[in-house]
Structure 1
Amino acid sequence: MAEKTRALSDVLDQLEESAHGDSIAIQDVIEKLGHRSFGSLMLVFSLISTSPASAIPGITATVAVIVFILVAQMIIGRDSVWLPGFVTRRRMSTAKLCKGIGWLRKPVRFVERFLKARLTFLFHRPWLWLPLSLILALTLFMPFMEIIPTSGSIASAVIALFAAGLLARDGVLVVLSLILLSAVPVAVWYFGFSG
């Protein structure tokens, strides 16, 4: 049980361990988390885009590309992660990355207190195809969200919630992520065009 409730923090630990020097390549993150860790990679990159590290120019668009490719490979049933060279060669500031990880620690620990295996049928086909298809559609709009402050972070938070559910086998989180996903267009409109 203890291992299960540390699922998200363990991913942050692994990411922090891979951060050396002035910058880190996305390929280094993949090597650290493992080529079969679709859920972990989706969680890490969506959390980066949710955290203060999202201030890195182009990070929302990069995360959208990564998540799109990960989800597409999950839909077709691929066993290991493949990302194109122009993505894996991209580098991030380790200082900003570590700052983002530190910022995420407290909310991640809070969420972990409530995680447990529930509604696990949602992680089997064909049920899994619905959330994956909706996440895939969301990533297509994320690059355009960079022009609207906070909207990219909102979309990334929804993806992070889904990925956390995937890692912890918690179907309740998956359902919650789908509910929040339906609210993303409203939130983007509110933050981008209201007032």
Structure 2
Amino acid sequence: MPKERTHALSDVLDRLEKSTHDDSITVQEVIEELGHKSFASLMLVFALISTSPASAIPGITTVVAGITFILVVQMIFGRDSVWLPSFITRRRMSTEKLCKGIAWLRKPIAFVERFLKARLTFFLHRPWLFLPLLLILGLTLFMPFMEVIPTSGSIASAVIALFAAGLLTRDGALVVFSLIVLLAVPVAVWYFGFGG
């Protein structure tokens, strides 16, 4: 496996941190830093933001759900470059909270990267890729409602982050794992939110 793939996730954090300046940054600035063709990188970044302490930003779960929904739809239809509506790209995020989130993610990301490698890559191509994409699409529709259940939005975002990490590192096994976890999310949210 090429060396750059083993640190693909840390590289995304580095580029995200590089984009921070002043008191806040816009979603558009993040897109420009990561690249308009980087669907997986953008999906990973926004999902990680929603799982980190930066998730304290009001409404971030809903924003992440909206961004992920639009990215997944474009991936399903084979679009080459990312497009997001202006009301999302103009949204600003606190640089301080974002940097705290990035710092918090460094160690777990570095740990996870040790186990990732290119394998089962056929799961990263059509038609196999359609199943996780469609399931994530469905998940994003429920994420805004998860704002009222503590940590549930972060759990959903973590699943999306796993899927995106699998795409970035060409690790089909991680994509399959994210699919299994994704199927368990509704049960977990119901149990901890209503059943416990």
User: TM-score, normalising length from structure 2?
Assistant: 0.98
Determine the C-alpha separation between the residues in 2 that align with 1:136 and 1:27: 22
Identity level (%) = 80
1:58 match: 59
Gaps of 5+ in 2: none
- Describe the SS at the equivalent of 2:25: strand
Partner Cα distance (2:154, 2:188) in 1: 11
> What SS class does the counterpart of residue 24 from structure 1 fall into?
strand
Q: Contact 1:149–1:191 (CA<8 Å) still a contact in 2? A: no
1:96 corresponds to: 97
Give the SS at the match of 1:180.
helix
1:190 corresponds to 2:191: yes
Which residue of 2 is the match for residue 114 of structure 1? Answer: 115
Shift of 1:187: 1.3
AA aligned to 1:136 is: L
Q: Give the TM-score normalised by structure 1.
A: 0.98
Q: Hey, what does 2:153 align to over in structure 1? A: 152
Q: Which residue of 2 aligns with 1:133?
A: 134
Deviations 1:89-109 (A, max 9, x none): 000000000000000001100
Asked if the contact 1:46–1:63 (Cα under 8 Å) also holds between the matched residues in 2, the reply is yes
Identify the residue that residue 170 of structure 1 maps to in structure 2: 171
* Matched-pair contact (CA < 8 Å) for 1:119–1:172: yes
RMSD of equivalent CA atoms: 0.7
2:86 maps to which residue? 85
Question: Residue in 2 aligned with 1:15?
Answer: 16
Return structure 1 stretches of 4+ with deviation > 6 angstroms. Answer: none
